[in-house]
Amino acid sequence: MNTYIIWQDTSGAIQVGWRDDDSGWKGPKAYSAFAGADNGTSIACITPTAWPVSNLQERVDLARCYFQASGVLKEVLFDGASWALGSFSLI
């Protein structure tokens, strides 16, 4: 199971740390998709299930996070290797 920890550091940058194999924790890394986050923003992420007894299929395209930048809600998507800015919009 891959594990990701996402937090905002004291300078306001959103950092990502992860463990995706037996070599230990990697990062932290600040991906450009998280740039410009409002200082003190909340970060909410949704991911596929981590439980093998679930009927959900393993898919990284379900992993996404939300935060605010300049007061606007931003979506960031994970493709299995990197984070990219999504196209979320309020309807």
Q: For residues 76 and 67, give the distance between their C-alpha atoms in angstroms, rounded to a whole number.
A: 8
Beta bridge partners of 78: 83
Q: Which domain holds residue 74?
A: 3-85
Is 16 contained in some domain? yes
Tell me, yes or no, if the pTM score tops 0.85.
no
DSSP string, 22-86: TT--EEEE--GGGTTPPTT---EEE-----TTSSSPP-GGG-EEEEEETTEEEEEEE-SS-EEE-
Residue 52 in domain? yes
* Backbone phi, psi, residue 81, to 5°: -130, -30
Domain count along the chain: 1
Q: Give pLDDT tens digits for 21-80.
A: 999 999 999 999 999 999 999 999 987 755 566 665 555 667 899 999 999 999 999 888
For residue 91, tell me if it sits in a domain: no
Which pair of structure tokens corresponds to residue 9?
């550091």
| 81 part of a folded domain | yes
Note whether residue 79 is domain-resident. yes
